């Protein structure tokens, strides 16, 4: 990659940070909940895509924002997130059962693999639970 191609994203990011005309600073979405937070995050992604000159990503994000604004309700979003938590809990239970089976069989490599999968499932559950709070 040539130096000018490397500098373009850096220049766009610098312009964004400097408040150049047409550049938007990222909004703080932490105080928002539900659909408002979802919209805020998508708008921040749009601003980042603009700053990077990524028009395809920007167009896709604008479509996603339009669809989200048309269909998102706090109740439906909460229901989706609750469903995701339930699915991840099931996955953790499944991984726990797999680990128990591997421990009965006694092969340390298989135990280690099952333990890694359990930790991954637990992390995904934690992330789904965090999303539920947003």
Q: Quick: pLDDT tens for 8-26.
A: 344 444 444 444 444 456 8
Residue 77: other Cβ atoms inside 10 A: 20
DSSP state of 26: P
Residues 30 and 87 placed together within one structural domain of the fold: no
Give the residue numbers spanning the domain of 47: 3-71
On whether the CB atoms of residues 67 and 35 are closer than 8 A, the answer is: no
Residues 66 and 8 placed together within one structural domain of the fold: yes
- Retrieve residue 78's tokens: 């909460």
Percent of the chain with pLDDT over 70: 81
Residues 79 and 102 placed together within one structural domain of the fold: yes
| Number of folded domains that form the chain | 2
Residues 15 and 49 placed together within one structural domain of the fold: yes
Domain boundary among 71, 95, 112: 71
Whole-structure pTM value: 0.63
Domain boundary among 71, 91, 111: 71
Residues 63 and 107 placed together within one structural domain of the fold: no
How confident is the model at residue 116, as a pLDDT? 98
How confident is the model at residue 133, as a pLDDT? 85
Q: State the average pLDDT for the chain.
A: 85
How confident is the model at residue 10, as a pLDDT? 41
Q: Please, which pLDDT band fits residue 44 given cuts at 50, 70 and 90?
A: very high
How confident is the model at residue 18, as a pLDDT? 43
Domain boundary among 71, 103, 124: 71
């Amino acid at each position: 990659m040539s130096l000018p191609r490397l500098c373009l994203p850096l220049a766009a990011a610098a312009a964004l940070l400097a408040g150049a005309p047409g550049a938007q600073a990222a909004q703080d979405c932490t105080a928002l909940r539900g659909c408002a937070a979802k919209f805020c995050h998508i708008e921040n992604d749009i601003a980042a895509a603009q700053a990077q000159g990524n028009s395809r990503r920007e167009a896709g994000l604008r479509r996603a924002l339009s669809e989200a604004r048309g269909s998102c309700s706090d109740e439906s979003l909460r229901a989706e997130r609750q469903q995701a938590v339930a699915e991840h809990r099931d996955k953790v239970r499944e991984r726990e059962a797999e680990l128990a089976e591997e421990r009965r069989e006694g092969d340390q490599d298989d135990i280690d693999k099952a333990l890694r999968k359990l930790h991954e499932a637990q992390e995904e559950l934690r992330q789904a639970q965090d999303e539920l709070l947003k």
